[in-house]
């Protein structure tokens, strides 16, 4: 894994910066071009790269670099879900993600793809934090398929289980 870890880190950053509505990668491309221009022909450290990432995301990224660059844990996510009918022909989707094999404070935004009975779909991120994360989403149609990490953009093992 050590030889592929750098590629995974870039893949995860790329997908964290991905516009889920258009699937455009412009933000990631701009960040990488900025890093290249700033450090072309110079030595650059991991922290130099982190500073460029933080500038483009406009948020501290210590958590990401601590977990994915300096750390060695790889999470296992276990997804369960159920849908209930709601007012006005809508549905309430209950999501639960259990996270294992990582420290208790491990956090990562993970994409979720939802296919609806009416042919529609949604692609969004759920911030998985700690051993158990739950979310509720109001949907215009019944969800038929819910997939965690559909873009394979987070280095993780994904499993599913029945809602209990």
pLDDT (tens digit per residue) in 4-48: 788 999 999 999 999 999 999 999 999 999 999 999 999 999 999
pTM comes to 0.91
pLDDT (tens digit per residue) in 43-62: 999 999 999 999 999 999 99
Residue 70 and residue 9 in contact, taking contact as beta carbons nearer than 8 Å: no
Tokens of 75: 């999470």
Partnered with residue 93 across adjacent β-strands are: 83, 137
Name the DSSP class of 49. Answer: H
pLDDT of amino acid 5? 83
pLDDT of amino acid 89? 86
pLDDT (tens digit per residue) in 96-147: 999 999 999 999 999 999 999 999 999 999 999 999 999 999 999 999 999 9
In whole angstroms, give the CA distance from residue 151 to residue 8.
13
pLDDT (tens digit per residue) in 5-17: 889 999 999 999 9
Strand order from edge to edge, sheet including 107-116: 121-129, 107-116, 143-148
Angle between helices 26-39 and 46-57 (to 10 degrees): 140
pLDDT band at 2, cuts 50/70/90? Answer: low
Q: Using the CB atoms, write b or e for 64-77: b if 16+ within 10 Å.
A: bbebbeeeeeebeb
List, in sequence order, every beta strand (DSSP E) within the chain.
76-86, 90-100, 107-116, 121-129, 132-139, 143-148, 157-160
In whole angstroms, give the CA distance from residue 113 to residue 115.
7
pLDDT of amino acid 3? 59
Answer yes or no: is pLDDT of 73 > 80.
Answer: yes
Q: Map tokens 């969004």 to a residue.
A: 124
Tokens of 46: 């991991």
């Amino acid at each position: 894994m050590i030889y592929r870890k750098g590629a995974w880190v870039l893949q995860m950053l790329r997908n964290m910066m991905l516009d889920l509505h258009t699937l455009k990668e412009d933000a990631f491309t701009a960040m990488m071009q900025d890093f290249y221009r700033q450090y072309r022909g110079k030595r650059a450290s991991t922290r130099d790269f982190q500073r460029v990432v933080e500038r483009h995301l406009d948020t501290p990224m210590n958590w990401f670099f601590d977990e994915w660059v300096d750390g060695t844990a790889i999470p296992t996510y276990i997804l369960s879900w159920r849908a209930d009918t709601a007012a006005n022909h809508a549905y309430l989707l209950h999501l639960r993600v259990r996270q294992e094999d990582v420290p208790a404070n491990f956090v990562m935004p993970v994409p979720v793809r939802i296919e609806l009975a009416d042919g529609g779909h949604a692609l969004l991120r759920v911030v998985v934090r700690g051993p158990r994360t739950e979310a509720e989403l109001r949907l215009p149609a019944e969800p038929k398929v819910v997939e965690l990490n559909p873009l394979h953009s987070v280095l993780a093992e994904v499993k599913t289980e029945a809602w209990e």
